[in-house]
């Protein structure tokens, strides 16, 4: 059975996912068979594996860093929030139902057999498992968790506890978290990490020693704020607040309230000609070279928001003036004439869409989850190879629209009309071919040269980012101490 080590954090956003990604890469570089594991993930960024099962994107990045094919066993429980109080529950990649917070809290311990089966199966195939916690282990109102110390007890995992110095108060974060733990759990914490540090580390040294004396736990590293470009776990990530204006083309992604799978656009962000920004108010939109309506976990609700906020009329005006518009998944559904939900899958009733595509979507209880290959057909984007996946509720009648793409089995996919494009395909830019086609077309529309604007393979780009992240963490972390912790457990 594999040895294991667990990374927990003092709060959500402390950098657990990136630290696990880095450790997966470091252990792989050191010659070990390694895999990530997160028993329960709550995120709207999800992925479809080769066998058609759904898992969180963070564990996909960690698997890639470990040199492994993403496997649903790495994330057996996925919660996809659909409202402030409810989530879709996915167990071993399959939808189990819709749960409000109280109902899920009452039944979560029944999921322990699924968690342990996934963990033990992975452990039998690897030398090391790197486990990620969620939120904070010191939530004293949520005893009996299945993702932090509760899981650590089940699999006898030693813990590294990470605090985020970028938010301030990191010494209080780490000391307070350790102090609130039960004695049994406190004994599991073998090392403290200070994450996202900017500045002279020597200025921290007196505080590090005092923290060790107060907690009895050594600080194993001060990890710098890294610029490695790794896919974020969820839509609360800081990257959605960034505006990139130093590139010749402007791509505006509307930040829907329930935005999902925004990592679809990560390949665009690494293209030398494309500046990608996320906009939350119509006044920020302007006249971009491309407007994107992304995926969402609540298409009907976000369509109401789109109309009430003024974004709907702004997008319609842009399209009427000939500006390109792209809708992906839920965004594609919004571009149609009408959305029908007779069974209340999302929000019972019907709504008019933006009427930019001659499509009608009908929601059903069946969820589409599939990996696909194909090639684009639509106008200036035609000919790009696609290796993507579908993950959506609902079926769309495309009317007399031109298909956006044709799948490898001959099935038409999506819809296009003039400069408006809609598709269900997530990961549509990952091969780099559509990214190049899009950039060349948009540059031509602006009268700008396009010969030198080529996309790096997104796979190669991501692998380079994993190495950059691993190098930064290895240099900051006492890896000899980490291996000693592994060997003692």
Alpha-carbon gap, residue 363 to 379, rounded angstroms: 29
Q: CA torsion sign, 238 to 239 to 241 to 247?
A: positive
The bridge status of strand 128-132 relative to strand 412-413 is unpaired
| Residue 453 reports pLDDT greater than 70 | no
Q: What percent of the chain is helix, strand and coil (3-state, nearest 5)?
A: 35, 30, 35
| Residue 242 reports pLDDT greater than 60 | no
Residues 260-264, mean pLDDT to the nearest whole number: 91
- Which pLDDT band, with edges at 50, 70 and 90, does 348 fall under? confident
Residue 84 burial class via C-beta count within 10 angstroms: exposed 0-12, middle 13-18, buried 19 and up: exposed
Fill in the DSSP letter of residue 171.
Answer: H
329 catalytic? Reply is yes
- Write out the DSSP string of 279-339: ESSGGGT-S-SEEEE-EES-HHHHHHHHHHHTHHHHHHHHHHTT--EEEETHHHHHTSSEE
Closest by Cα among 238, 277, 275, 271 to 255: 277
Residues 133-150, mean pLDDT to the nearest whole number: 89
Three-state secondary structure along 66-126? CCCCCCHHHCCEEEEECCCCEEEEEECCEEEEEEEHHHHHHHHHHHHHHHHHHHHHHHCCC
**Each residue of 290-347: pLDDT tens digit?**
999 999 999 999 999 999 999 999 999 999 999 999 999 999 999 999 999 998 988 8
489 catalytic? Reply is no
| Residue 234 reports pLDDT greater than 70 | no
**Each residue of 151-209: pLDDT tens digit?**
999 999 999 999 999 999 999 999 999 999 999 999 999 999 999 999 888 889 899 99
Q: What is the mean pLDDT of the chain?
A: 93
Alpha-carbon gap, residue 473 to 480, rounded angstroms: 13
Answer for the pair 247, 273: CB distance below 8 angstroms, yes or no: yes
Q: CA torsion sign, 337 to 340 to 346 to 349?
A: positive
Alpha-carbon gap, residue 401 to 414, rounded angstroms: 9
pLDDT at 235: 47
Residue 405's DSSP bridge partners are 376, 413
For residue 435, CA distances in Å to 64, 257, 264, 345, 419 come to 21, 26, 11, 34, 16
Alpha-carbon gap, residue 27 to 215, rounded angstroms: 28
Residues 244-256, mean pLDDT to the nearest whole number: 87
Phi and psi at residue 361, to the nearest 5°: -110, 135
Residue 98's DSSP bridge partners are 88
For residue 109, CA distances in Å to 7, 86, 145, 147, 196 come to 21, 18, 8, 11, 34
Pick the catalytic residue: 258, 271, 392, 426? 426
- Which pLDDT band, with edges at 50, 70 and 90, does 449 fall under? confident
Answer for the pair 413, 407: CB distance below 8 angstroms, yes or no: yes
Answer for the pair 395, 459: CB distance below 8 angstroms, yes or no: no
Domains defined along the chain, listed by start: 3-230+463-488 (3.40.50.300), 249-447 (3.40.50.880)
> Which pairs from 182-188 meet CB under 8 Å and 24+ separation?
182/149, 184/153, 185/137, 185/149, 185/152, 185/153, 188/149, 188/152, 188/153, 188/157, 188/158, 188/159
Residues 453-457, mean pLDDT to the nearest whole number: 68
The bridge status of strand 405-407 relative to strand 360-376 is antiparallel
| Residue 241 reports pLDDT greater than 90 | no
Answer for the pair 334, 353: CB distance below 8 angstroms, yes or no: yes
Answer for the pair 354, 334: CB distance below 8 angstroms, yes or no: yes
Phi and psi at residue 422, to the nearest 5°: -135, 140
SS3 of residue 365 by DSSP: strand
- Which pLDDT band, with edges at 50, 70 and 90, does 227 fall under? confident
The bridge status of strand 189-197 relative to strand 219-224 is parallel
Phi and psi at residue 268, to the nearest 5°: -65, -35
pTM, whole model, 2 decimals?
0.86
**Each residue of 69-111: pLDDT tens digit?**
999 999 999 999 887 788 999 999 999 999 998 999 899 999 9
| Residue 280 reports pLDDT greater than 50 | yes
Residue tagged 């607040």 (tokens) = 241
For residue 480, CA distances in Å to 247, 300, 475, 476, 487 come to 43, 52, 12, 12, 11
Pick the catalytic residue: 4, 329, 359, 419? 329
Helices (H) and strands (E) in the chain, counts: 15, 26
Alpha-carbon gap, residue 56 to 63, rounded angstroms: 11
């Amino acid at each position: 059975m594999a040895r294991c080590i667990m990374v927990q954090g003092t709060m959500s956003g402390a950098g657990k996912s990136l630290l696990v990604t880095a450790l997966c890469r470091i252990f792989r570089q050191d010659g070990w068979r390694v895999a990530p594991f997160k028993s329960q993930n709550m995120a709207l960024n999800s992925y479809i594996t080769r066998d058609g099962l759904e898992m969180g994107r963070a564990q996909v990045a960690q698997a890639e860093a470990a040199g492994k094919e993403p496997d649903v066993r790495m994330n057996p429980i996925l919660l996809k929030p659909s409202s402030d109080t409810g989530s879709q529950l996915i167990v071993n990649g399959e939808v189990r139902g819709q749960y409000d917070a109280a109902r899920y809290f009452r039944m979560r311990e029944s999921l322990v057999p699924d968690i342990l089966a996934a963990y033990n199966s992975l452990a039998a195939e690897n030398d090391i498992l790197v486990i990620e916690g969620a939120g904070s282990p010191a939530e004293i109102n949520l005893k009996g968790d299945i993702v932090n110390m509760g899981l650590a007890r089940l699999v006898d995992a030693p813990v590294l506890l990470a605090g985020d110095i970028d938010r301030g108060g990191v010494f209080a974060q780490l000391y307070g978290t350790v102090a609130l733990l039960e004695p049994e759990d406190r004994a599991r914490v073998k090392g403290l990490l200070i994450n996202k540090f900017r500045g002279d580390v020597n200025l921290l040294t007196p505080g590090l020693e005092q923290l060790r004396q107060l907690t009895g736990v050594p600080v194993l590293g001060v990890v710098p704020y890294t610029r490695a470009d790794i896919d974020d776990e969820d839509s609360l990530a800081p990257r959605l607040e960034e505006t990139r204006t130093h590139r010749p083309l402007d791509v505006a992604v509307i930040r829907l309230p329930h935005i999902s799978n925004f990592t679809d656009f990560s390949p665009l962000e690494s293209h030398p000609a494309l500046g990608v920004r996320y906009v939350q108010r119509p006044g920020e939109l302007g006249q971009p070279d491309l407007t994107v309506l992304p995926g969402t976990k609540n298409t009907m609700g976000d369509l109401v928001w789109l109309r009430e906020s003024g974004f709907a009329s702004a997008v319609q005006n842009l399209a009427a003036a000939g500006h390109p518009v792209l809708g992906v998944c839920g965004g594609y559904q919004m571009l149609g004439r009408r959305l029908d939900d007779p069974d209340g899958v999302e929000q019972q009733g019907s709504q008019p869409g933006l009427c930019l595509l001659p499509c009608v979507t009908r929601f059903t209880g069946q969820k589409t989850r599939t990996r696909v290959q194909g090639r684009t057909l639509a106008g200036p984007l035609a000919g790009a190879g696609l290796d993507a996946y579908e993950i959506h509720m609902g079926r769309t009648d495309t009317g007399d629209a031109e298909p956006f793409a044709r799948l490898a089995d001959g099935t038409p996919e999506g819809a296009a009309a003039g400069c408006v494009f809609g598709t269900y395909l997530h990961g549509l830019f990952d091969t780099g071919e559509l990214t190049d086609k899009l950039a060349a077309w948009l540059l031509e529309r602006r009268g700008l040269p396009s010969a030198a604007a080529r996309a790096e393979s997104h796979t190669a780009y991501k692998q380079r980012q994993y190495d950059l992240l691993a190098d930064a963490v290895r240099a900051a972390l006492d890896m000899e101490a980490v291996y000693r912790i592994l060997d003692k457990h």
